[in-house]
Amino acid sequence: MSNVMNVNPTEKKSLNPFRFINTERMVPKILLLIASVSILTSIGIVLTLVIDASHFFREVPLKQIFSSELAPLRENPSFGFLPLICGTFVTSGIAMLVAIPIGLSAAIYLSEFSAPSRRKVLKPIIEVLAGIPTIVYGFFAYSFVTPLLMQVIPNLEAKNALSPGIVMGIMIIPLVTSLSEDAMNAVPRRIREGALALGSTRLEVAIKVIVPAAISGIIASFVLAISRAIGETMIVTIASGSTKNFTLNFTQPMQTMTGYIVEFTSGDAGSGTIGYYSLYAVGLLLFIFTLLMNLVAKYITKKYRKEY
């Protein structure tokens, strides 16, 4: 007993060589330092894109950038980005035509028609589609979907915008389904049951009550899906080719913004050339597009969310 009493706490503490460091005070500072890596990443992204893109914008007149002629490797190169923007929007548009109706229908089914036990099984299976690497979808689009489509559309080229668009849509279905379903599930039960008690069928409840009530979440999921499609790289790089076509004809090969970045970094342009800097200009454009989409999605969910 007396031993315990005699222990001098300061004596033990003095053995610690780091005793002059106050751990409790240091830890939050160190953690903040580490946490700032994520902020540094964002700053890094913006800086690399802006700095290197500025070299490009200094050398290439704006009029040329908004022209439809893209020939970066020619002796007298021309950098019109319209073909890339057009390619991006054609493939993303096709993807949306696939993903929005299918994804939303699946969400309505899961949230309004299926029994909870069945939903528990089906939802994870659909989400498997989201876990498959995009390169696998690219392979699938190029080696399976394109030959299949060629039998239906005879003048389809081996590389085209249609096949990657469709496959990209399939890839995005889980995103639309899962986010829309979450939004529909957030509509309180009493509203759903009120409508059912008034004699509505399930379809009427879904179309006239639940979807309107969850519309902000649903639209936000569409916008996020568009952003995903615009930023998607490997599927379009593999299956839609690297021809810089300025056309809306989806049977033709086209190049997207992401495809251009991949094609060019794979060794065609040496560091310091305008071609190399054009990568960053396209990257900046892509970054701005996707960031805008994400901000719009966030704005929609925040502004139009109904509180129950």
Partner 1 sequence: MDGMTIVYEEKAEKKNTVKTYINKDLAYRRMKRRILLDKIAKVVFSSTIVFALVVLGLLLYRVISQSIGWLDLQFITSKLSISPEKAGIKGVIVGSVLLMVVVAPVTMFLGVATAVYMEEYSKKGKIHELINTNISNLSGVPSVIFGLLGLTVFGRLLNFGSSILAGGLTMSLLVLPIVVVSSQEAIKTVPGFLRDASYALGATKWTTIRKIVLPTALPGIMTGSILSLSRAIGETAPLVVLGIPTLILRTPNSLMDDFTALPIQIYYWTLDTVLTKEYANLAAATIVVLLMLLFILNSIAIVIRNKFQKRY
* Residues 236-255 close enough to bind partner 1 by CB under 8 A: 237-238
Measure the CA angle with vertex 13, ends 8 and 18; round to 5°: 170
Q: Which residues from 95-124 bind partner 1, rule CB under 8 A?
A: 101-103, 105-106, 108-110, 113-114, 122
Work out whether the CA dihedral 181, 186, 187, 188 comes out positive or negative.
positive
Q: Is 147 in the site for partner 1 (CB under 8 A)?
A: no
Residue choice 21, 59, 144, 190 for contact with partner 1 (CB under 8 A): 144
Q: Is 231 in the site for partner 1 (CB under 8 A)?
A: yes
The rounded distance, in Å, linking the Cα atoms of 20 and 254 is 65
| Cβ proximity of 287 and 281 under 8 Å | no
Q: Is 140 in the site for partner 1 (CB under 8 A)?
A: yes
Of all helices (H) and strands (E), which one includes residue 71? strand 70-71
Provide the minimum distance between the beta carbon of 170 and partner 1 in the complex, in angstroms, as a whole number: 5
b/e 14-43 (16+ beta carbons within 10 angstroms → b): eeeeeeeeeeeeeeeeeeeeeeeeeeeeee
Provide the minimum distance between the beta carbon of 157 and partner 1 in the complex, in angstroms, as a whole number: 13
Task: Fill in the per-residue mask, 166 to 205: x = in contact with partner 1 (CB under 8 A), - = not in contact.
Answer: ----x--xx--------------------------xxxx-
| Cβ proximity of 202 and 146 under 8 Å | no
| Cβ proximity of 271 and 109 under 8 Å | no
Residue with tokens 């469709």: 166
Tell me 199's DSSP state.
T
Binding range to partner 1, per CB under 8 A, among 20-28, 55-63, 85-93, 187-195:
20-28
| Cβ proximity of 228 and 175 under 8 Å | yes
Q: Is 258 in the site for partner 1 (CB under 8 A)?
A: yes
Residue choice 213, 261, 278, 300 for contact with partner 1 (CB under 8 A): 261
Q: Which residues from 282-301 bind partner 1, rule CB under 8 A?
A: 283, 286-287, 290-291, 293-294, 298
Residue choice 129, 191, 219, 274 for contact with partner 1 (CB under 8 A): 129
Residue choice 262, 274, 296, 305 for contact with partner 1 (CB under 8 A): 262
User: Which one, 111 or 216, has the nearer CB to partner 1?
Assistant: 111
Provide the minimum distance between the beta carbon of 145 and partner 1 in the complex, in angstroms, as a whole number: 9
Provide the minimum distance between the beta carbon of 82 and partner 1 in the complex, in angstroms, as a whole number: 20
Q: Is 17 in the site for partner 1 (CB under 8 A)?
A: no
User: Which one, 67 or 185, has the nearer CB to partner 1?
Assistant: 185
Q: Is 273 in the site for partner 1 (CB under 8 A)?
A: no
What stretches of the chain show up as alpha helix (H) in DSSP? 2-6, 9-13, 23-59, 62-65, 82-108, 116-131, 134-140, 146-152, 162-185, 189-197, 202-204, 211-213, 215-231, 234-239, 257-263, 274-304
